Amino acid sequence: MTRFALTLEFDGTPFFGLQRQSHGPSVQQAVEEAIARITGEGATLHAAGRTDTGVHALAMRAHVDIARPFTPFRLMAALNAQLRPAPIAVTACAVVADDWHARFSCIGRRYLYRIINRRAPLTLEARRAWHVPQPLDTEAMHRAAQALVGRHDFTTFRSAQCQAADPVKTLDRLDVERVGEEIRIHAAARSFLHHQVRSMVGCLKLVGAGTWPEARMAEALAARDRAALGLNAPPHGLYFVEAIYPGERKEPQ
């Protein structure tokens, strides 16, 4: 039995998230079925994180154990051939130690949230960014975001369905930048609560629009109450960017 680490890129639009679901297609199901067609084995895909319906990934790390002999290149090529035309690609594949685990060995995760801030409707980016037509103050959003950086109880920014045992997390980074008409929000932490990034982004949008004063972000955090949440950003602007493991270089982007 060989353990392979996979790096997955996918468009989350047609999927009910990464994790296998009983009520609709998932990324996990698509990859596991592709492996079964190639190997005849019932392998289980383990990923660094979960994603909601419509959330995308640039480099989701995962692993799978396969008994049939493969080189990483052959496995990657075979998986990509079997996954077509689903919007999933295996962009890297490597043999790893038997005790390497995509989820439990991971020491850091990075997300990107994209807002297109213009009056005109979206065409090419319609399901790949959040369209906000009213002007947003990016500098105010960034200043307000810094109140969330550090170790806090993030109950306010946690889904009611979150299964995490503890709402306390350490947020390493929450930066807001504008590149032309696009606003990019970068979030980094060892791990996140369910809906945490989308909830933080939704409130930052209210700050940028002038609906919330900057201080309201810190007040919402301190409330430790989901009722204090102003807005949950839609899933289609969110991207899983990177999973970080011991011995791998960590560079802010």
52 is catalytic: yes
CA dihedral sign of residues 245, 246, 252, 253 = negative
Q: For residue range 12-54, list pLDDT tens digits in order.
A: 999 999 998 878 899 999 999 999 999 998 999 999 998 999 9
Residues of the chain with CATH 3.30.70.660: 108-244
Residues 111-132 have a mean pLDDT of 97
Spacing of C-alpha 196 from chain mean position:
10
Residues of the chain with CATH 3.30.70.580: 2-96
CA dihedral sign of residues 126, 130, 136, 138 = negative
Q: Is the pTM of this model over 0.85?
A: yes
Residues 138-151 have a mean pLDDT of 98
Which CATH topology does 2-96 take? Alpha-Beta Plaits (3.30.70)
> Of 111, 17, 2, 1, whose CA–CA distance to 55 is shortest?
17
Q: Is the pLDDT of residue 251 over 60?
A: no
Q: Is the pLDDT of residue 250 over 60?
A: no
The CATH number given to 108-244 is 3.30.70.660
Which among 52, 65, 99, 137 is annotated as catalytic?
Answer: 52
> Of 116, 110, 120, whose CA–CA distance to 128 is shortest?
116
Model pLDDT, residue 54? 95
